[in-house]
Amino acid sequence: IKELIESSHVSSNPLSGQNINANDDYYINSNEIIKRQSKIEWPNDYEMQLHYINKQKEAVQNLKEHNPLDIDKNEFKVIREKARIEWKNDYEMQLDFEQRQVESLRRIKEL
> What pLDDT, in 10s, does the model give residues 31-75?
999 999 999 999 999 999 999 999 999 999 999 999 999 999 999
Q: What pLDDT score does 25 carry?
A: 87
Domain with 30, as residue range(s), is 20-110
6, part of any domain? no
Residue of 34, 84, 28, 37 lying closest to 54 (CA atoms): 34
99, part of any domain? yes
Residue 53, number of CB atoms within 10 A of its CB: 16
> How many domains are there within the chain?
1
Q: What pLDDT score does 7 carry?
A: 54
Of the candidate ranges 2-6, 83-87, 92-96, 104-108, the one whose mean pLDDT is the lowest: 2-6
Residue of 110, 31, 14 lying closest to 69 (CA atoms): 14
11, part of any domain? no
**Computed from CA positions of residues 96, 26, 61, 107, in that sequence, does the dihedral angle turn out positive or negative?**
positive
